[in-house]
Structure 1
Amino acid sequence: MVPSLEGLTFAPVADQAPGQVGTGTRFTYHEQDGGIWAEYAGGDVVRGRLVGTRSGDRLDFRYVQLTHDGITSSGHCESRIVELPDGRLRLEESWQWESRTGDGTSIVEEVTRHAR
């Protein structure tokens, strides 16, 4: 079983388009009883939240964010949790905006090794 996401911090491995998450964005995850949620900020994002569910190594969640230009956006994301050789976790994501056009894929990785 893939370890819990509780208290882990993740960062994107590459920048996305302007107004989206980038390498300066940090996600802090929480997990309890099959539910997941996270707060995120950094780069173009002033504040973001996500909430959803986890089933095994799969996450399914909705996200909403506010960027520095005052625009709010929301969307849906499905992720797969992968354990890296050094013990850190990676989230391989497929996302789609719901409040505007656009979709894509991204990868976020655990910022620091978490004692397991």
Structure 2
Amino acid sequence: MTNDHAVWLFEQPNYPLRPALLDWLTANNLNPEDIPVDATITVDENAGTITTDRFVRRDSNMVVDGDTVLCDKVTVPMAVRPPETIAHRLTFTGRAERCSTH
């Protein structure tokens, strides 16, 4: 499932949270230019990883099949946790649910 909020960050060059997202991706050894605007970015807190779609490149060029740019999924170790300012815009797995006490 695509996180529409994350997509929106990529598509809004003047949106205040966009630089924080791009800086966070870069700090985690992900090139923001390789990530499609409709990518789902998933943080797995248990595994300490980030999984996202990215463009397939050959010799620094995007690989195209007909009129479609090819993508694959990549999982990288999470070196830097997302700042709270963008965390609400990402998809998380492996988070412990908070229990309410009555």
| TM-based fold match above 0.5 | no
Bigger strand fraction: 1
Structure with larger RCO (C-alpha < 8 A, sep 6+): 2
Which TM-score applies when normalising by structure 2?
A: 0.31
Q: TM-score, normalised by structure 1?
A: 0.29
